[in-house]
């Protein structure tokens, strides 16, 4: 049966992939985006689909539509973008969550919150399981995003307890792939763009800090499985548990792009996490979630996307 599905942040990196996948599965999709970081180019191929609808809208204002499911992805997710207007970032996470939860309550829709591994802060537990409470600075430059997402999780669980809203909470770890913004400041897009342009590759600190990178197709699988899983709320970690240092990543990108770029080391930004690796035991058990696309394969696809993007 065809479902009507609302995706906030639907023209963004993750949202555009989710729109496409849900349309392919035979659903009707309403994409909502204010285009602060979203890009119409990401969804241009979907605009002719009669079951796809685009609404330019900011989730900090109420929205009135009738749908069966809501994926709340609206929020800038890279430090460059969320620190550009930190007050608006917090408002998007908190007021946006209130507005979408209010909508879900009124129309009795299922609603999924795209939360983040950033709620764990600079973790003292490794890898990070869902029951770890995190080590987050409430007053640092990243707090607008970290604390906004933490508050959104609180709101989701309060709406479940107080109003019996059917919620889902996914804690998304580093994800990459086509439709990333070339200037979003995230490490994979930074390294690839610098390598393709033959520029110095910027590494912060000594390059020993680690991240675990999930290819976007695997992540979208996880989000849809979570939405469709009955009697399971989360929060649940979604990501690829294979861990790499920034130095290893830079060397791999140079190798795959056949670039002459040199490595340049700069001071580590404030509150930058030293380690980031998901414990996905819960996702494996409850959702049968097992990422299949490993780093080299995913990087090749992403490099090809950026080659075409930079040509344009």
Active site residues: 145
Q: Buried (b) or exposed (e) across 257-284, using 16+ Cβ within 10 A?
A: bebebeeeeeeeeebebebbbbbbebbe
* Long-range Cβ contacts of 44-49 (<8 Å, 24+ apart): 45/20, 46/19, 46/20, 49/23
Characterize the bridge pairing of strands 28-33 and 52-56. parallel
Rounded Cα distance, 165 and 144, in Å: 26
Residue 101, classified by CB atoms within 10 Å of its CB into exposed (0-12), middle (13-18) or buried (19+), is buried
- Confirm if 230 and 110 have CB atoms less than 8 A apart: no
Please count the CA atoms within 13 angstroms of the CA of 112 that sit on its side-chain side: 30
* Residues in CB range of 102: below 8 A, 6 or more apart: 62
Number of neighbours of residue 186 by Cβ within 10 angstroms? 20
């Amino acid at each position: 049966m065809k479902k009507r599905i609302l995706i906030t942040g639907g023209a963004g990196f993750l949202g555009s992939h989710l729109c496409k996948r849900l349309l392919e599965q035979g659903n009707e999709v309403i994409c909502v985006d204010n285009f602060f970081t979203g890009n119409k180019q990401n969804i241009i191929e979907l605009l002719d689909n009669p079951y796809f609808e685009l609404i330019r809208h900011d989730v900090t204002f109420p929205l009135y539509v009738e749908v069966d499911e809501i994926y709340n992805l609206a929020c800038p997710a890279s430090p460059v973008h969320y620190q550009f207007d930190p007050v608006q970032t917090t408002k998007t996470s908190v007021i946006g969550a209130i507005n979408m939860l209010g909508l879900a309550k009124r129309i009795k829709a299922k609603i999924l919150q795209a939360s983040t591994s950033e709620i764990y802060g600079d973790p003292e537990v490794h890898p990070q399981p869902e029951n770890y409470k995190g080590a987050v600075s409430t007053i640092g430059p990243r707090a607008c995003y970290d604390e906004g997402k933490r508050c959104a999780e609180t709101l989701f669980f309060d709406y479940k307890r107080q109003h019996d809203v059917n919620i889902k909470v996914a804690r998304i770890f580093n994800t990459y792939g086509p439709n990333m913004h070339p200037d979003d400041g995230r490490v994979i897009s930074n390294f690839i763009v610098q390598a393709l342009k033959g520029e110095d590759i910027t590494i912060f600190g000594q390059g020993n800090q680690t991240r675990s990178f999930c290819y976007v197709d695997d992540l979208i699988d996880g989000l849809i499985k979570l939405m469709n899983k009955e009697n399971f709320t989360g929060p649940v970690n979604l990501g690829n548990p294979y861990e790499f240092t920034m130095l290893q990543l830079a060397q791999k990108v140079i190798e795959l792009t056949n670039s002459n770029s040199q490595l340049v080391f700069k001071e580590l930004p404030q509150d930058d996490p030293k380690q980031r690796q998901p414990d996905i035991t819960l996702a494996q058990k409850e959702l049968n979630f097992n990422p299949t696309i490993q780093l080299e394969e995913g990087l090749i696809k992403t490099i090809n996307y950026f080659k075409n993007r930079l040509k344009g």
